[in-house]
Structure 1
Amino acid sequence: MILLPEPVQPLVSIVILAYNHLETTKRCIDSLLLHTPMEGNEFILVNNGSSDGTQAYFDSILGARAVHLLENVGPVNGFNAGMNAAQGKYIALISNDMILTADWLPNLLTCIESDSRIGFVSPGANYVSNYQQINLPFHTLEEMQLQAKAYNHSDPRKWEERIRLMPVILFSQTERLREIGGYDSRFYFGEFGDDDISYRYRRAGYKLIFAGDTFIYHHGSVTTGIDQRQHNSLQVSRQIFHDKYGIDSWTEGLPNMQLVEELKARWSPKASVSLLAINCCIGATPLAFKTFLEQQGASEVRLTSLSNQEKYMVDLRTVSERSFYYETVADLKWLLAGEQFDYILFEHGYSEFERSGVSLANYLLPSGHLVTN
């Protein structure tokens, strides 16, 4: 009897998605092969119905597995095809307009393996929204690689929990991505598909971590601009998201960084910190301040969230130690039961609250701070 060796599961399935733009794709693949060990990992190249030479180019890359789609099914469905083909413990979803840099993979592995509750992590880039931009000084791609090599050192102090992430790279356990169902195919154009998948990871009980210790180069969206002009894709996708969640991810899901900076200005070192957040939508602003406190060495930050809108409660529970819905200002008396806090953040509706005659000073510790919008 001949015993064949057991197949070894790849550690990471690295999925590159391309739709035309062959020269951009080649730069992406070249950087991938230069900065990523092939041994122990698998490369899956998804050709999203390209009409240039992408198919032949993908077939020419030895050791990689090419998936050729007959037509362009949009980025989210293209990535789902890569997910379906993946066999690795982890998966990295990467668009062809990215250029990989030194140590990108070990850094993301170190981050995601630091906490079993992490759903997915994503690095920063030169061109990205959602406060994930990292500015490095360079004029050429060669200089960029040198700067990235000097910058990309694993540093937990640069990891930040987020409400939502724009996946420069979506790096996750493969089964965890499948567990939440991959990308929602309704977000055909790609826009707001990242918001949607962020919400679904959090609502499934997982954390989202911005790996600010890792820089990736991003050319900028090479295909979405066309869809925005021809199909009004940005507003179409924004409406799909709102119809699904009843939330506008831009106006209700982004942190108010002005308030965060005001809180930072009043910060003083303390190991244990209590933070009360009132009417902060889904919690992006208090989470940003909580992350800052943890980065400054606070070993325990207890976030209590209050909201007078029930639609926010499911998301507030994903980032708060406690979260309460209140109907009237009088409810605060029994909900908080005389508790006092180091910081109180009141983001929306403070002027109306003031007219109620209830003083939040009663809920502040003697050295506490109140910040309002």
Structure 2
Amino acid sequence: MRKLAESRRPKRNLKRRQRRAVVPTRSSQYQTGMNSGYQEGLRTGQSSFGTYFEGTSIIIPNYNQVDYLKQCIASIRRFTNPPFEIIVVDNASTDGAGAYLASLGSAVRYRVLESNRGFAGAINVGMMMARGSYLLLLNNDTVVAENWLSNMLACLNSSPTVGMVGPVTNYISGDQRIEVPYKTVRGMPNFARQHNVSNPSRWQQTDRLTGFCLLMRRELWDRTGFMDEGYTVGNYEDDDYNIRVRLQGYSLMIARDTFIHHFGSVSIRALGERVTVVNDHNRHVYMEKWGNPHDLVHFVRGIGHGMIPAGETAFFPQHVIVRGSRDNFYWIEDGIKRLIAGPVAIPATRLSRVELRRWPIGEPISVEEAQAKWHGVTVEGLPWSEGLMARGMDGLLYMVENGTKRKVASAKAAEDWHLVLKPNIAFTPEQISSLPEGLPIIAPIRTADHL
């Protein structure tokens, strides 16, 4: 009997262990809840994609300046009345910024990048995250004050031709700098309270707004797109964006009835001896891309163009091949993009998804037809070919398109669109004068591959 009992005991123990194994542990319950919450959040995100709230997305890039960042966020939460969200994009800081952002809970939406992508790279990520009908780019070394956002919104919404608005401050280059009576930032709120009284007579049109604080409508971002990440670390990307906005016919405004405090170039100064190298590189990129951009703006307005309905895409060439972040290649013609079926041997220009989606999709095109078109399609009744390049007597490069001659704004634009590889034709002075001026062709921006 004892042997029989002993032989049964392990089986009872096994069944007991099996019963215990099916009881959910606290860890498995947590994981199940996490998975359920993730799936619900995913469904909610997908259903609300493309919808925005009537408020402002305040986008703050940050790199190793957690103490300044704390002051900036605290001032926004204290002094901002219109609806807003705060988005911080951290450039892989090592000073505890990530932990600080995590401690804020739902007060701030944020992303910590794996590496330092500079001012433009961080801003571009924030633009993708933004859910507001207005976008505001704000340096982390700023402190805002009473009525700051409401005053700037009033200026921006005063006319549909106003593209971007910036405030005045104590530390900046150009016309946005004013003298202030206070000696430390503690004295700023009292000064700003008296200064920030809404007054349209104090709004001033300008040719340049600095990027420490820039307000725009989402519509403008849709038409203009990301900042150019060809400018490393920081500097000149705001000047670049100014030109791109002005080319479309928009004006830039300084809201002189709005003051915010700016500690000034904190992240740039932290580079030490690298500042000169970075600044020289970015100046070279800017000059290579634009040459004299103000002359270009006046040229566009001089040929009778006001507001450009198609946005920045109107300054892109037709009869070229472009690609996005995936391995899809498109032929661009007559304002539409056509997916190319087959492997493409001709160089393609990389564009962001924001730029690509401005063109409606047309019927697919075979690779053979796309390549034949790229080499030039003869237009009946004209002694030259649509989409081909021509060098005028003035030495400038033009593209012949829709019965106009389109000046290529710079050698960089010709190179980045691969126009220098397209067939050329000789222009006579008579042919040049017979063609009306079209919009110039500008260089595309550079962005990270996932944008």
> Does TM-score exceed 0.5, indicating one fold?
yes
- Is 1:314 the counterpart of 2:357? The answer is no
**What residue is the counterpart of 1:11 in the other structure?**
55
Alpha-carbon distance change, 318 to 162 in structure 1, aligned in 2, over 3 angstroms: farther
**What residue is the counterpart of 2:90 in the other structure?**
47
Alpha-carbon distance change, 119 to 50 in structure 1, aligned in 2, over 3 angstroms: same
- Is 1:133 the counterpart of 2:177? The answer is yes
**Pairwise CA distance, 1:177:** 1.8
**Pairwise CA distance, 1:316:** 5.5
Q: Distance in 1 between matches of 2:103 and 2:302?
A: 49
**Pairwise CA distance, 1:226:** 4.2
Q: Distance in 2 between matches of 1:49 and 1:318?
A: 46
- Is 1:243 the counterpart of 2:228? The answer is no
CA contact (8 A) 1:191 1:237 kept: yes
Structure 1: 5+ residue runs without aligned partners? 254-281, 283-310, 322-326, 328-373
Alpha-carbon distance change, 235 to 8 in structure 1, aligned in 2, over 3 angstroms: closer
**Pairwise CA distance, 1:196:** 0.5
Alpha-carbon distance change, 175 to 227 in structure 1, aligned in 2, over 3 angstroms: farther
Select 1:147's aligned residue among 187, 191, 194: 191
1:237 maps to amino acid: N
Instruction: State how 1:1-373 maps to structure 2 within 5 Å.
Output: 9-37=53-81, 40-63=83-106, 64-227=108-271, 229-230=273-274, 232-247=277-292, 282=295, 313-314=298-299, 317=302
Range with bigger deviation, 205-214 or 193-202 = 205-214
Q: Distance in 2 between matches of 1:195 and 1:94?
A: 15
Q: Distance in 2 between matches of 1:17 and 1:79?
A: 6
Deviations 1:217-265 (A, max 9, x none): 0001012134472261112111111100112x7xxx6xxxxxxxxxxxx
Q: Distance in 1 between matches of 2:254 and 2:261?
A: 16
The structure that has the greater radius of gyration is 2
CA contact (8 A) 2:61 2:119 kept: yes
Q: Distance in 2 between matches of 1:12 and 1:122?
A: 14
Q: Distance in 2 between matches of 1:312 and 1:178?
A: 20
Q: Distance in 2 between matches of 1:109 and 1:134?
A: 21
Alpha-carbon distance change, 152 to 219 in structure 1, aligned in 2, over 3 angstroms: same
Cα RMSD after superposing both structures: 2.6
1:134 maps to amino acid: I
**Pairwise CA distance, 1:42:** 1.5
**Pairwise CA distance, 1:201:** 0.2
**Pairwise CA distance, 1:319:** 11
**Pairwise CA distance, 1:145:** 0.9
CA contact (8 A) 1:19 1:49 kept: yes
CA contact (8 A) 2:52 2:133 kept: no
Deviations 1:78-110 (A, max 9, x none): 111110100110011111111111110100110
Is the partner of 1:137 in helix, strand or coil?
coil
CA contact (8 A) 1:125 1:168 kept: no
2:149 maps to amino acid: L
Q: TM-score under structure 2 normalisation?
A: 0.54
Q: Distance in 2 between matches of 1:152 and 1:318?
A: 39
**Pairwise CA distance, 1:315:** 5.7
Deviations 1:179-202 (A, max 9, x none): 212211111222111110000001
Q: Distance in 1 between matches of 2:242 and 2:52?
A: 31
CA contact (8 A) 2:59 2:86 kept: yes
Alpha-carbon distance change, 49 to 171 in structure 1, aligned in 2, over 3 angstroms: same
Range with bigger deviation, 132-141 or 66-75 = 132-141
User: Once the two structures are aligned, what percentage of the paired residues are identical?
Assistant: 32
Is the partner of 2:90 in helix, strand or coil?
strand
1:73 maps to amino acid: R
Alpha-carbon distance change, 46 to 157 in structure 1, aligned in 2, over 3 angstroms: same
1:235 maps to amino acid: D
Q: Distance in 2 between matches of 1:200 and 1:130?
A: 19
Alpha-carbon distance change, 167 to 212 in structure 1, aligned in 2, over 3 angstroms: farther
